[in-house]
Amino acid sequence: EFTGVVPNDPAEPYTVVQTNLPGYDDAGDSDGTDNDTTLSEILVDVSTEDQDIVFIDETDGDGTAATPAPTAIDGTPAPTAEGDILGSISGCVDEDTDDDDAGEEPIEGSTIMLLDSDGSVVASTATGADGCYEFYDLPTGIYSVTQTNLPGFVDVTDADGPLSGGDNDDLDSQILEVPVDDGENVTEQDFTDEKDGDLRTISGTVLEDTDGDDAGDAPISDSPVALVAPDGTIVATTTTDSDGTFEFTGVVPNDPAEPYTV
């Protein structure tokens, strides 16, 4: 369940992606499509109301679902029944606290997404208290890793080099072309961010029109409010206080031609 979702423009619905477990293929979903053998996507329109969607999978052609890859005692992925050895990608997100372009303090709670060679999201996670993340059980292939900055932080560098490689900007940083060979554990796919020295605050109020004159008369508390970046990324969420007010602090200044959406 996803709660607090901002209503979309009817012409631009959300997409919900479900990745199949090993040994399962798509059978159908709420929009009637059999997408492919690895993931299923449903376009979801919540412009006027909540939605409840369904994905249906089935075991693959031999009628049995594959079991997860076993792991050897030393932590190295062991061969699967088919002889494949799965790999992993890991790294950390740290804050540059002394302006030397190196990370000194871990950043917890930064969203990390793993993309395949087609640019589709394979998995997502968030950094732990140590600022680190890891994606397990990866077949051989070439991947990309995208890190979304927390509010108030901007990019310094990543494993591609200082502000290089993927489409790095003030909101996210991407490491391109991370190859994973058979059974390889790719490490040190790191990101470094720093706090922006020139940050903004966005605040406002949510009011109820109680007398039909199109003006706010009474505060609405506990109303979800989201701050959305120009590229559609949800930067932060909050709820209104008892007086109907809300505030986002530490907001990175935007390009005047590409404003935020609240």
- What's the N-to-C CA distance of the chain in angstroms? 22
Q: What is the pLDDT of residue 166?
A: 46
* Global confidence as pTM: 0.48
- The reported pLDDT for the residue numbered 1 is 79
CB 23 within 8 A of CB 59: yes
Distance between CA 251 and CA 253 in Å, rounded?
6
- How far apart (Å, rounded) are the C-alpha atoms in residues 205 and 188? 44
Cα dist. 134→138, 257, 258 in Å?
Answer: 11, 36, 33
> Kind of pairing, strands 172-180 and 141-148?
antiparallel
Report mean pLDDT in 10-residue bins for the chain, 262 residues: 76 77 70 59 82 79 46 44 76 86 86 88 91 92 88 75 50 81 90 76 90 88 90 85 88 81 91
pLDDT for position 75: 41
Place of tokens 């919900």: 16
Q: What is the pLDDT of residue 134?
A: 94
Mind listing the domains of the chain with CATH numbers?
1-66 (no CATH), 87-195 (2.60.40.10), 200-251 (no CATH)
Tens digits of residue pLDDT in 126-148: 999 999 999 988 999 999 998 88
Pairing, β 200-205 against β 245-251: antiparallel
pLDDT at 52: 86
